Amino acid sequence: MRQESIVSKYRTYLLLEKALSGNSIEAYISDVNKLLNFIHNENLDLKDITLDNLQQFIAQLYDLEISPKSVARIISGTKSFFGFLLADGYVSSDPTELLETPKLGMKLPTVLSIEEIDDMKRIIDASTREGQRNRAIIEVLYSCGLRISELTTLKFSDLFLDEGFVRVEGKGSKQRLVPISPIAIKELNYYLMERETYPIKKGSENIVFLSKRGTPISRIMVFHFIKEYAAKVGIKKNISPHTFRHSFATHMLEGGANIRAIQQMLGHEKITTTEIYTHMDREFLRQEIIEHHPRNNRVE
């Protein structure tokens, strides 16, 4: 059977049997096409592929300086493809059974210090409408650990400022209550006074954070001004709105918060997602020992 026909059937399998999204299917097909191009260039036959052939394919990916994370994804796609081929009788054995996935080192997310966050806020001109809005956005992102999508869709009906809470609608439309700090409430209240002067567009009346045109502020706009403020105060880290969420979690853990409480506030379904911050906390503790333990400050 022609490879085009096999790929077409595999696409149907991913859609109907695996119920994958369109983007996921295209990613799988793209990875399979990389494998099929290799097979074609090496004058091999799909049904005769061996483990050695696959290891040669993976070696070529590394030669092209493809990252280990991308190689791991391609290997996963290759395993899925051969599982499909075996189940449908296109091959008699699965050569991917012993194919090893590269071990990925844990990449710890970038975190801002409290001083760096304060420096960014300090250079914002709060006398302008957009300036006060941006101060409030930074403080709410950091105070509540919100995702940028959660911040841009935050509604007035989600604010319980007298009680000190914000209701957040996270992934899968799941709602959670998150405490909001007095500093964030203060910045938010200053902004809300300015917000009354915005030319609010129909349909945006209940949205908290608006653009100067009166429409919901976009992720790109928040990303842009955060990068701009970071550059102005000399922060060299590669940061984004999500950096404030990481900073929130890390500072909470360093301050002694329970990891289960942090999990709830971040809206993580699995504790394993939150546990990355325990690695960051260990690095913090290590640095504290290096800086403050007398054995690290004495030279024999």
Give me the active site residues, please: 147, 171, 242, 245, 268, 277
- Say whether 236 sits in a helix, a strand or coil: coil
Structure-derived torsion over alpha carbons of residues 111, 114, 120, 121, reported in degrees to the nearest 10: 130
The label of the residue with tokens 């409430």 reads 185
The label of the residue with tokens 């409480």 reads 261
Bridge partner list, 160: 165
- The helix or strand, by DSSP H or E, that contains position 175, with its residue range, turns out to be strand 175-179
Phi, psi of 159 (to 5 degrees): -95, 125
Q: By the 8 A CB rule, do 146 and 168 touch?
A: yes
One-letter identity of residue 283? E
What is the CB neighbour count within 10 angstroms for residue 106?
Answer: 7
In order, the DSSP letters of 72-137 are HHHHHHHHHHHHHHHHTTS-SS-TTTTPPPPPPPP-PPP---HHHHHHHHHTS-TTSHHHHHHHHH
69: Cβ–Cβ under 8 A, 6 or more apart, which residues? 104
